[in-house]
Amino acid sequence: QVQLVESGGGVVQPGGSLRLSCAASGFMFSGYPMNWVRQTPGKGLEWVAFISYDGSKKYYADSVQGRFTISRDTFKKTLYLQMNSLRAGDTAVYYCARAMNFHDRSAVDYWGQGALVTVSS
């Protein structure tokens, strides 16, 4: 079955960096676009970044553009989110999420369990 397992969350000071990883299993990782979506405790969902199935296209939310980088390693079947210049407003649970098929706009169907990132001094 499809499994997405995030790791790398934690507490970091403002201005610091953190890298999230998402280990994928149970499906052909190289054939699916992937996303990072975050959720502030008790609040709604905010899309953060998208990467196409082959890594050729990457899109970012305006709020993280220039600070966050999404990437994927096909051989390791792992999705990454490098987060730099972190701010208090980046505090959230970060979900790794898979798209249903190779089309960029296909619905996100599977989500990981989430990784909590707390930016605080």
Q: What residues from 5 to 24 belong to the interface with another protein (CB under 8 A)?
A: none
Smallest distance, another protein to C-beta of residue 84, A: 19
Q: Which of 55, 59, 77, 82 binds another protein (CB under 8 A)?
A: 59
Token pair 């701010």 is found at 87
Restricted to residues 91-110, the positions that interact with another protein (CB under 8 A) are 95, 100, 104-105, 107-110
In terms of CB distance, is 49 or 117 closer to another protein?
A: 49
Q: Is 54 in the site for another protein (CB under 8 A)?
A: no
Q: How far, in Å, CA of 14 to CA of 72, rounded?
A: 26
- The answer for 111, left when phi > 0, alpha when psi is -120 to 50, beta otherwise, is beta
Residue 49 CB neighbour total at 10 angstroms: 22
Give Rg (Cα) of the chain. 13
Task: Work out whether 116 is an interface residue with another protein (CB under 8 A).
Answer: no
Q: Give the alpha-carbon dihedral of 15, 17, 18, 19, to 10 degrees.
A: 140
Interacting residues with another protein (CB under 8 A): 35, 37, 44-47, 49-50, 59-62, 95, 100, 104-105, 107-114
